[in-house]
Amino acid sequence: MSEVPHVDDNGYHQHVRASITVSNVTCHYGHQPALCDINLTMPAGHITALTGSNGSGKTTVLSALGGILEPSRGQITGLPENVAFVLQRSAVSDQLPITVKQTVAMGRWRARGMFGRLNHEDSRIIHDSLEQMRISDLAGRRIGTLSGGQRQRCLVAQGLAQRPDLLLLDEPLAGVDFEAAECIARAIEAERSRGVTIVLATHDVGQAEQCDHVVHLEQGRVCYS
Ligand SMILES: Nc1ncnc2c1ncn2[C@@H]1O[C@H](COP(=O)(O)OP(=O)(O)OP(=O)(O)O)[C@@H](O)[C@H]1O
Protein backbone atom coordinates (compact mmCIF):
# COMPACT_ATOMS: atom_id res chain seq x y z
CA MET A 1 0.00 0.00 0.00
CA SER A 2 1.22 3.50 -0.69
CA GLU A 3 1.98 6.23 1.81
CA VAL A 4 1.01 9.79 1.03
CA PRO A 5 1.94 11.79 4.13
CA HIS A 6 0.29 15.13 4.66
CA VAL A 7 0.29 16.98 7.99
CA ASP A 8 -3.03 18.60 8.87
CA ASP A 9 -3.64 21.67 11.09
CA ASN A 10 -3.60 19.53 14.24
CA GLY A 11 -0.22 18.01 13.46
CA TYR A 12 -1.58 14.64 12.30
CA HIS A 13 -0.23 12.89 9.23
CA GLN A 14 -3.17 12.11 7.00
CA HIS A 15 -3.65 9.27 4.48
CA VAL A 16 -0.91 7.08 5.88
CA ARG A 17 -2.14 3.64 4.82
CA ALA A 18 0.54 1.02 5.21
CA SER A 19 -0.33 -2.23 6.98
CA ILE A 20 2.49 -3.44 9.18
CA THR A 21 3.72 -6.95 8.51
CA VAL A 22 5.88 -8.99 10.83
CA SER A 23 7.43 -11.88 8.89
CA ASN A 24 9.17 -14.83 10.53
CA VAL A 25 10.44 -12.66 13.35
CA THR A 26 12.53 -14.12 16.15
CA CYS A 27 13.77 -11.93 19.03
CA HIS A 28 16.22 -12.78 21.77
CA TYR A 29 17.29 -11.24 25.06
CA GLY A 30 20.88 -12.39 25.18
CA HIS A 31 20.70 -16.07 24.25
CA GLN A 32 17.12 -16.42 25.51
CA PRO A 33 14.44 -16.44 22.76
CA ALA A 34 11.39 -14.27 23.55
CA LEU A 35 9.63 -14.46 20.17
CA CYS A 36 9.91 -17.53 17.95
CA ASP A 37 9.32 -17.13 14.23
CA ILE A 38 6.14 -15.07 14.46
CA ASN A 39 4.03 -13.80 11.57
CA LEU A 40 1.49 -11.00 11.97
CA THR A 41 -0.28 -8.33 9.98
CA MET A 42 -1.55 -5.21 11.69
CA PRO A 43 -4.08 -3.40 9.53
CA ALA A 44 -3.52 0.32 8.97
CA GLY A 45 -5.88 2.64 10.80
CA HIS A 46 -7.15 -0.13 13.09
CA ILE A 47 -6.55 -1.26 16.65
CA THR A 48 -4.71 -4.53 17.19
CA ALA A 49 -4.74 -6.01 20.69
CA LEU A 50 -1.90 -8.26 21.82
CA THR A 51 -3.12 -10.66 24.49
CA GLY A 52 -1.48 -13.56 26.32
CA SER A 53 -0.26 -14.54 29.73
CA ASN A 54 2.67 -12.92 31.58
CA GLY A 55 5.90 -13.47 29.71
CA SER A 56 4.17 -14.51 26.46
CA GLY A 57 5.96 -11.82 24.43
CA LYS A 58 3.54 -8.86 24.15
CA THR A 59 6.02 -6.19 25.27
CA THR A 60 8.67 -7.78 23.08
CA VAL A 61 6.43 -7.42 20.00
CA LEU A 62 5.86 -3.74 20.89
CA SER A 63 9.60 -3.22 21.42
CA ALA A 64 10.36 -4.73 18.01
CA LEU A 65 7.71 -2.52 16.36
CA GLY A 66 9.04 0.51 18.24
CA GLY A 67 12.61 -0.13 17.10
CA ILE A 68 13.85 -0.69 20.66
CA LEU A 69 14.69 -4.35 20.06
CA GLU A 70 16.26 -5.54 16.82
CA PRO A 71 14.86 -8.92 15.64
CA SER A 72 17.55 -11.55 15.43
CA ARG A 73 15.73 -13.04 12.41
CA GLY A 74 12.93 -12.04 10.05
CA GLN A 75 11.67 -8.62 9.08
CA ILE A 76 9.06 -5.99 9.83
CA THR A 77 7.71 -3.98 6.90
CA GLY A 78 5.28 -1.07 6.59
CA LEU A 79 6.43 0.76 9.71
CA PRO A 80 5.78 4.50 9.44
CA GLU A 81 8.48 6.94 10.53
CA ASN A 82 6.56 8.50 13.38
CA VAL A 83 6.06 5.77 15.99
CA ALA A 84 5.10 6.59 19.60
CA PHE A 85 5.65 3.97 22.29
CA VAL A 86 3.66 4.50 25.49
CA LEU A 87 5.51 2.50 28.12
CA GLN A 88 3.97 0.82 31.15
CA ARG A 89 3.97 3.30 33.98
CA SER A 90 6.17 0.92 36.02
CA ALA A 91 8.93 1.56 33.44
CA VAL A 92 9.19 5.17 34.69
CA SER A 93 11.50 5.78 37.64
CA ASP A 94 10.13 7.63 40.69
CA GLN A 95 13.37 9.61 40.66
CA LEU A 96 12.84 11.23 37.27
CA PRO A 97 13.33 14.95 37.95
CA ILE A 98 10.87 16.19 35.32
CA THR A 99 7.37 17.59 35.49
CA VAL A 100 4.24 16.29 33.84
CA LYS A 101 4.33 19.12 31.30
CA GLN A 102 7.98 18.44 30.48
CA THR A 103 7.17 14.74 30.06
CA VAL A 104 4.36 15.52 27.63
CA ALA A 105 6.57 18.07 25.82
CA MET A 106 9.05 15.24 25.14
CA GLY A 107 6.40 14.00 22.70
CA ARG A 108 7.45 16.96 20.50
CA TRP A 109 11.13 16.00 20.46
CA ARG A 110 10.72 14.03 17.29
CA ALA A 111 9.40 17.11 15.51
CA ARG A 112 11.71 19.71 17.11
CA GLY A 113 14.74 17.77 18.37
CA MET A 114 15.70 17.42 22.05
CA PHE A 115 17.02 20.96 22.28
CA GLY A 116 14.75 22.54 19.66
CA ARG A 117 12.62 25.52 20.60
CA LEU A 118 8.94 24.65 20.93
CA ASN A 119 6.75 26.81 18.71
CA HIS A 120 3.18 27.97 19.15
CA GLU A 121 1.82 24.82 17.50
CA ASP A 122 3.86 22.58 19.84
CA SER A 123 2.53 24.47 22.87
CA ARG A 124 -1.02 24.06 21.64
CA ILE A 125 -0.54 20.31 21.04
CA ILE A 126 0.98 19.89 24.55
CA HIS A 127 -1.91 21.85 26.06
CA ASP A 128 -4.49 19.80 24.13
CA SER A 129 -2.83 16.49 25.12
CA LEU A 130 -2.86 17.46 28.81
CA GLU A 131 -6.52 18.49 28.51
CA GLN A 132 -7.46 15.32 26.65
CA MET A 133 -6.01 13.22 29.49
CA ARG A 134 -7.50 15.61 32.08
CA ILE A 135 -4.17 16.25 33.76
CA SER A 136 -3.74 19.99 33.07
CA ASP A 137 -3.97 20.64 36.82
CA LEU A 138 -0.97 18.31 37.35
CA ALA A 139 1.22 20.01 34.71
CA GLY A 140 3.73 21.39 37.25
CA ARG A 141 3.99 18.22 39.37
CA ARG A 142 7.07 16.01 39.22
CA ILE A 143 6.10 12.77 37.47
CA GLY A 144 7.58 10.66 40.27
CA THR A 145 5.09 12.16 42.74
CA LEU A 146 2.02 11.06 40.77
CA SER A 147 -0.24 8.11 41.51
CA GLY A 148 -0.05 5.15 39.14
CA GLY A 149 -3.18 6.14 37.21
CA GLN A 150 -2.10 9.80 36.92
CA ARG A 151 1.31 8.66 35.67
CA GLN A 152 -0.31 6.41 33.08
CA ARG A 153 -2.40 9.32 31.79
CA CYS A 154 0.75 11.43 31.58
CA LEU A 155 2.52 8.79 29.46
CA VAL A 156 -0.49 8.47 27.16
CA ALA A 157 -0.55 12.29 26.83
CA GLN A 158 3.11 12.18 25.76
CA GLY A 159 2.25 9.62 23.08
CA LEU A 160 -0.67 11.73 21.85
CA ALA A 161 1.54 14.85 21.72
CA GLN A 162 3.84 13.07 19.31
CA ARG A 163 0.99 12.98 16.77
CA PRO A 164 2.17 9.51 15.70
CA ASP A 165 1.19 7.44 12.69
CA LEU A 166 1.65 4.29 14.77
CA LEU A 167 0.76 4.34 18.47
CA LEU A 168 2.07 1.48 20.63
CA LEU A 169 0.68 1.14 24.15
CA ASP A 170 1.88 -1.33 26.75
CA GLU A 171 -1.03 -2.25 29.03
CA PRO A 172 -2.51 1.25 29.03
CA LEU A 173 -5.40 0.30 31.35
CA ALA A 174 -3.41 -1.71 33.90
CA GLY A 175 -4.31 -0.60 37.41
CA VAL A 176 -6.12 2.60 36.42
CA ASP A 177 -9.46 3.66 37.89
CA PHE A 178 -12.71 3.76 35.92
CA GLU A 179 -12.44 7.46 35.03
CA ALA A 180 -8.83 7.16 33.82
CA ALA A 181 -9.70 4.01 31.87
CA GLU A 182 -12.59 5.84 30.15
CA CYS A 183 -10.34 8.78 29.38
CA ILE A 184 -7.58 6.60 27.89
CA ALA A 185 -10.06 4.44 25.95
CA ARG A 186 -11.66 7.57 24.46
CA ALA A 187 -8.26 8.93 23.43
CA ILE A 188 -7.35 5.63 21.75
CA GLU A 189 -10.66 5.66 19.89
CA ALA A 190 -10.07 9.28 18.80
CA GLU A 191 -6.64 8.33 17.45
CA ARG A 192 -8.15 5.49 15.47
CA SER A 193 -10.79 7.79 14.01
CA ARG A 194 -7.94 10.00 12.76
CA GLY A 195 -6.45 7.04 10.92
CA VAL A 196 -3.66 6.22 13.38
CA THR A 197 -2.64 2.55 13.50
CA ILE A 198 -2.71 1.32 17.11
CA VAL A 199 -1.18 -1.78 18.68
CA LEU A 200 -1.72 -2.34 22.39
CA ALA A 201 -0.85 -5.04 24.87
CA THR A 202 -3.64 -5.83 27.29
CA HIS A 203 -4.84 -8.27 29.93
CA ASP A 204 -8.21 -6.53 29.92
CA VAL A 205 -10.73 -8.78 28.16
CA GLY A 206 -13.19 -5.90 27.77
CA GLN A 207 -10.57 -3.76 26.07
CA ALA A 208 -9.46 -6.59 23.76
CA GLU A 209 -13.09 -7.12 22.72
CA GLN A 210 -13.33 -3.46 21.69
CA CYS A 211 -10.34 -3.81 19.34
CA ASP A 212 -10.56 -4.57 15.61
CA HIS A 213 -8.11 -7.41 15.69
CA VAL A 214 -6.74 -9.62 18.47
CA VAL A 215 -3.43 -11.48 18.39
CA HIS A 216 -2.99 -14.03 21.16
CA LEU A 217 0.56 -14.98 22.13
CA GLU A 218 1.82 -17.82 24.28
CA GLN A 219 5.48 -18.57 24.99
CA GLY A 220 6.70 -16.31 22.23
CA ARG A 221 4.45 -17.77 19.55
CA VAL A 222 1.20 -16.61 17.94
CA CYS A 223 -1.65 -18.89 19.04
CA TYR A 224 -4.30 -17.15 16.95
CA SER A 225 -4.98 -13.84 15.28
N1 LIG B 1 15.06 -7.31 29.43
C2 LIG B 1 14.89 -8.65 29.41
N3 LIG B 1 15.93 -9.48 29.59
C4 LIG B 1 15.79 -10.82 29.54
N5 LIG B 1 14.61 -11.44 29.32
C6 LIG B 1 13.54 -10.66 29.12
C7 LIG B 1 13.62 -9.22 29.16
N8 LIG B 1 12.39 -8.72 28.93
C9 LIG B 1 11.58 -9.78 28.79
N10 LIG B 1 12.26 -10.93 28.90
C11 LIG B 1 11.70 -12.31 28.76
O12 LIG B 1 11.11 -12.39 27.48
C13 LIG B 1 9.87 -13.10 27.53
C14 LIG B 1 8.74 -12.22 27.01
O15 LIG B 1 8.59 -11.10 27.89
P16 LIG B 1 7.58 -9.92 27.60
O17 LIG B 1 7.91 -8.82 28.56
O18 LIG B 1 7.57 -9.61 26.16
O19 LIG B 1 6.18 -10.60 28.00
P20 LIG B 1 4.74 -9.93 28.20
O21 LIG B 1 3.79 -10.79 27.46
O22 LIG B 1 4.78 -8.50 27.85
O23 LIG B 1 4.53 -10.13 29.77
P24 LIG B 1 3.65 -9.29 30.84
O25 LIG B 1 2.22 -9.65 30.60
O26 LIG B 1 4.15 -9.84 32.15
O27 LIG B 1 3.97 -7.83 30.66
C28 LIG B 1 9.70 -13.53 28.99
O29 LIG B 1 10.16 -14.85 29.11
C30 LIG B 1 10.59 -12.57 29.76
O31 LIG B 1 11.08 -13.20 30.92
Q: What is the pLDDT of residues 77-86, one digit of tens each?
A: 999 999 999 9
Q: What is the mean pLDDT of residues 106-127?
A: 87
Shortest-distance Cα residue to atom 2 of ligand 1: 29
Residue 1 pLDDT = 42
Report residue 158's pLDDT band, with 50, 70 and 90 as the boundaries: very high
Residue 11 pLDDT = 60
**Distance from residue 55's CA to the centre of ligand 1 (Å):** 5
Report residue 141's pLDDT band, with 50, 70 and 90 as the boundaries: very high
Strands 221-224 and 32-42, by their bridges, are: unpaired
Strands 47-51 and 213-218, by their bridges, are: parallel
Atom of ligand 1 nearest to the CA of 57: 18
Q: What is the mean pLDDT of residues 75-101?
A: 89
Are 162 and 84 a contacting pair, CB within 8 Å? yes
| Helix pair 120-132, 148-161: axis angle to 10 deg | 140
Mutate to test the pocket of ligand 1, among 26, 28, 32 (most ligand atoms within 8 A of CB): 32
Q: Ligand 1 — pocket residues by CB below 6 A?
A: 29, 32, 34, 52, 54-60, 201
Report the share of the chain in percent with pLDDT over 90: 74
Asked whether residue 65 carries a pLDDT value surpassing 50, the answer given is yes
User: For the whole model, what pTM was predicted?
Assistant: 0.91
Residue 90 pLDDT = 78
**Distance from residue 60's CA to the centre of ligand 1 (Å):** 7
Mutate to test the pocket of ligand 1, among 22, 28, 59, 62 (most ligand atoms within 8 A of CB): 59
Shortest-distance Cα residue to atom 19 of ligand 1: 55
Shortest-distance Cα residue to atom 3 of ligand 1: 29
Residue 117 pLDDT = 81
Residue-averaged pLDDT of the chain: 90
Q: Which residue has the higher pLDDT, 207 or 11?
A: 207
Q: Which helix (H) or strand (E) holds 107?
A: none
Strands 3-7 and 13-16, by their bridges, are: antiparallel
Model confidence pLDDT, tens digit, residues 204-219: 888 899 899 999 999 9
Mutate to test the pocket of ligand 1, among 27, 58, 203 (most ligand atoms within 8 A of CB): 58
Asked whether residue 175 carries a pLDDT value surpassing 90, the answer given is no
Residue 94 pLDDT = 77
Report residue 196's pLDDT band, with 50, 70 and 90 as the boundaries: very high
Asked whether residue 119 carries a pLDDT value surpassing 80, the answer given is yes
Residue 4 pLDDT = 46
Is the ipTM value over 0.85, yes or no? yes
Shortest-distance Cα residue to atom 31 of ligand 1: 55
Sheet holding 32-42, edge to edge: 32-42, 20-29, 73-77
Atom of ligand 1 nearest to the CA of 60: 18
